[in-house]
Amino acid sequence: MGFSFTHVCKPVCAGAVLAVLLAGCGERPQLNPGPPQVGVVTVQPERTPSVSELPGRVDAVRDAQIRARVTGIVQKLAFEQGGDVKENQLLFKIDPAPYKAAYDQAAAQLKQSQADLFSAKALADRYAPLVKANAVSKQEYDNAVASYRQADAAVAAARANLQTASINLGYTDVTSPISGRIGKPLVTEGALVEGSAATQMALVQQLDPIYVDFTQSTTELAQLRRALASGQLQKIGDNSAQAKVLLEDGSEYKHAGKLLFTGITVDPGTGQVNLRAEFPNPEHDLLPGMYVRVRLAQGVDAQALLVPQQALQRTPDGLQSLMLVRDGKVASVNVTTAGVNNGRWIVTSGLKAGDVVIVEGFQKIRPGAPVKMSQWTPGNPGQPGQPAPAAAPAGPAGKDAAPAAGGQGGAPAQKS
């Protein structure tokens, strides 16, 4: 059996040559891209209001319960349900017939009393000179004077009765004591209302301005007072505070309000104090009974440290943390916050002025790993490499990146 070395060598040599050619024409191995790039901000102190967000309820400035003052049958409803009414506008008409009759009777009684007074006065005036001349007895004169005074008192009583009848007749026109918005009628035409029971007929509420009542814990109030006393917070104006409302859908009500008072007593069941703010409400967007949240600016922190909301991380045990860049490497620190101001967290501990906080690029970093930094701006979300670089550390990564940027890695492929 013969063996040919030449037949075996040709395929092997051809495969080796082909492998060498392909290796020469192929792309070069990928270079080390270096540390990952992150978007950062450098924290600096800012003058920032101290804001508390508290739950509250909307309440009308004035509630007018429209009630019957006289007993009678409702003849007419003179308003549009759910509409706006003016002060002294007619709302209901109660049957005035019996009260008109009582008024006329009182007027007639007054006239009769006035006639009796005229007669009694004339007799007393006639007896005055006669008693001096002993033409009439002293007893007759005294009786005439007494009759005159009784007639005068009867006139006063009749006049008071006429005034009462006039008031009751006026109560048959039920009017609104305030300007505001009226709800649905609680009685209809033909219904009997009673003055003695003060039957409620409707409700009118003044909606502009409007109150928002809310509560604050005594703990928060004590912390606020200590911060103001120590100078950490500065007062806003003359012991006033600006308030804003967040509606039920999370949007901010466009009109700012002012704090009217803080409660002087504490609810023993909840440990809360009552507060009230007043808001303009020209569009009637706030309605009595609505649930809202109140943002109350109670002071100003001249050295507040703020970070973007997306920079804050939550640890598995529920703590808050930030990723910092120190000496070109990632460091994790636990922090505490005191609410949000204009989309940024107010950090109260764990951070100091000048710290470099990572805002973007968390996916490829870990504590202790080196990173490259670029300045983050709100206008470039998700693109930490687009803003101008901020003091990126020099090192081998910068040298490795140069050939790829210059295009030398792709030249051999074009030659083959």
Residue 405: per-residue pLDDT: 35
Structure-token pair, residue 155:
């006139």
Residue with tokens 């308003």: 79
Cβ–Cβ < 8 Å for 361, 38: yes
Name the pLDDT band for 121 (thresholds 50, 70, 90). Answer: very high
User: pLDDT value at position 236?
Assistant: 56
Distance between CA atoms of 187 and 309, rounded to whole angstroms? 55
According to DSSP, the β-strands at 313-314 and 344-349 are unpaired
Residue-wise pLDDT for 210-255, tens only, equals 999 888 877 777 766 666 565 555 555 555 567 889 888 878 898 9
Evaluate whether 295 touches 52 at the Cβ level (below 8 Å): yes
CA 256/CA 308 separation, integer angstroms? 25
Measured between alpha carbons, how far is 383 from 367 in angstroms, rounded to an integer?
A: 22
What CA dihedral angle connects 96, 98, 99 and 101, to 10 degrees? 120
Residues 6+ apart with CB under 8 A from 185: 77, 79, 81, 92, 201, 202
Task: Give me the pLDDT at residue 275, please.
Answer: 82
> What is the residue type of 21?
L
CA distance 132 to 312: 109
Distance CA 370, CA 327 (A): 9
- Cβ contact 92:176 at 8 Å: no
Instruction: Calculate what percentage of the chain has a pLDDT beyond 90.
Output: 35
Query: What is the H or E stretch that residue 392 is in?
Result: none
- What's the whole-number mean pLDDT along residues 150-168? 96
pLDDT of residue 235: 57
Helices (H), 175-319: 218-230
CA dihedral sign of residues 46, 51, 53, 57 = negative
Mean pLDDT on 185-213: 93
Is residue 383 predicted with pLDDT exceeding 90? no
Q: Is the confidence at residue 24, as pLDDT, over 70?
A: no
The total number of residues shown for the chain amounts to: 416
Asked whether the predicted pLDDT for residue 310 surpasses 90, the reply is: no
User: What is the C-alpha R_g of the chain?
Assistant: 45
For the segment 115-136, the average pLDDT, to the nearest whole number, is 91
Return the pLDDT at 229: 66
Residue 196 is predicted with a pLDDT of 92
Query: Using CA atoms, how far apart are residues 151 and 115, in angstroms rounded to an integer?
Result: 9
Extended beta strands in 68-199, E state = 72-77, 84-85, 90-94, 173-175, 180-182, 192-193
Strand 37-42, strand 372-375: pairing: parallel
Strands of 327-395, DSSP E: 329-341, 344-349, 356-360, 372-375
Res. 273: pLDDT tops 50: yes
Q: Which of 285, 267, 254, 283 minimizes the C-alpha distance to 214?
A: 267
How high is the pLDDT of residue 161?
96
Residue 191 has pLDDT above 60, yes or no: yes
Contact yes or no for 91/69 (Cβ under 8 A): no
Q: Answer yes or no: are the C-beta atoms of 291 and 273 closer than 8 Å.
A: no
